[in-house]
Amino acid sequence: MQPNPEAPRGPIDASAVPRFAGIATFARLPRLDEVGRADIAIAGVPFDSGVSYRPGARFGPSHVREASRLLRPYNPAQDVFPFGSQQVADAGDIVANPFDLDAAVADIEAGSRALHEAAERLVVIGGDHTIALPLLRALHAQHGPVAVLHFDAHLDTWDTYFGAPITHGTPFRRASEEGLIDLTASMHVGTRGPLYDKQDLEDDARLGFSVVTSEFVEEHGVAAAIERMRERIGGAPLYVSIDIDVLDPAHAPGTGTPEAGGLSSRELLRMLRSLAGLRIVGADVVEVAPAYDHAQLTAVAASHVVYELLSAMAPREGGDREDT
């Protein structure tokens, strides 16, 4: 049988080229310039000038790509071929100024807008969480306010650090203030640990976020968390933002601001599978810091997070699907 010339171009055949050989694009997918246009482009943003504690997430994109070599074409958990039902390609990295935060944010927004000319949707590998703000600015130009489903140990709706209004702890406050997010459909999942003040939670609610804490997941289970997530999101266009520190340090030690008592990788992946059928318009996976990783634990988890996002974004027959 002759190959279908219109079929998506998938990963390199691991039976012909060993997984440890060749250029480490995400999941060994083709480059965007090799396919011309993609349904989903995967882009790195090697930037961490907005961190408040451990640096190193600028090396996250290459680290996650390297760990993604072992991903395979069929996802049995979601019963989908994420690379066969849509064209997914690696767009390389969006280059951002490492010395000037304002310039970097402008670089990332411009780079994101440019990639949207060649790809319907973006999944971005960071980099620190500062990058969510320019990515949301670019998305807002296409979709208006979007629901933000934010997996993180932290709220990231603080106001300033040392007087700086844009850091990795402030992107969703700025996004809310700028009207980039849907205040009725946004949510944090997996938050935990100490806060500066009880006022942090009051401010967060005012900025448009509901919260499912790690303690809620522990007490009520993943299915209850999924129910709350889907009820909150509804049919809104959805941006999924995942700080890898939502996972417990046992599952993701390689990150900048670890907090004990987090989700397991299995819990997070199940939650992401439940998003299949929702209108996901973009996503990011951030804060992977290789210098603190061990045996690629964090990178492997992050690569599977991206894989489940791509699978949830894949077209399906039969409409929405719930995984509770």
β-pairing verdict for 119-126 and 147-151: unpaired
Which residues, listed in sequence order, are joined to residue 125 by a DSSP beta bridge?
44, 285
Binned at pLDDT 50, 70 and 90, residue 318 comes out as low
Look at residue 322 and tell me whether its pLDDT is greater than 70.
no
Rounded Cα distance, 112 and 43, in Å: 9
First CA to last CA distance, the chain = 40
Query: pLDDT tens digits for 80-111?
Result: 999 999 999 999 999 999 999 999 999 999 99
Look at residue 206 and tell me whether its pLDDT is greater than 50.
yes
Burial class (CB in 10 A: 0-12, 13-18, 19+), 210: middle
Look at residue 323 and tell me whether its pLDDT is greater than 70.
no
Stretch 316-322: mean pLDDT: 54
Q: Which residues contact 176 (CB under 8 A, 6 or more apart)?
A: 157, 183, 207, 208, 209
pLDDT of residue 21: 77
pLDDT of residue 19: 77
Binned at pLDDT 50, 70 and 90, residue 158 comes out as very high
Look at residue 151 and tell me whether its pLDDT is greater than 90.
yes
Query: pLDDT tens digits for 48-58?
Result: 999 999 999 99
Is 45 in contact with 125 (CB distance < 8 Å)? yes
Binned at pLDDT 50, 70 and 90, residue 222 comes out as very high
Q: Has this prediction a pTM greater than 0.85?
A: yes
Q: Which residues contact 143 (CB under 8 A, 6 or more apart)?
A: 237, 281
Other beta carbons less than 10 A from residue 139's beta carbon = 25
**SS3 of 75, please?**
strand
Stretch 303-307: mean pLDDT: 98
Query: What rounded mean pLDDT belongs to the chain?
Result: 94
Nearest CA-CA partner of 282 in 125, 101, 168: 125
Other beta carbons less than 10 A from residue 198's beta carbon = 8
What are the backbone angles phi and psi of residue 91, rounded to the nearest 5°?
-95, 10
Q: Any idea which residue has 């490492």 for tokens?
A: 98
From residue 267, alpha-carbon distances to 117, 151, 248, 262 in Å are: 35, 12, 11, 10
Look at residue 324 and tell me whether its pLDDT is greater than 70.
no
pLDDT cut 90: percent of the chain above it:
90
Among 4-18, 24-38, 285-299, where is mean pLDDT lowest?
A: 4-18
Binned at pLDDT 50, 70 and 90, residue 1 comes out as very low
Look at residue 319 and tell me whether its pLDDT is greater than 60.
no
**SS3 of 211, please?**
strand
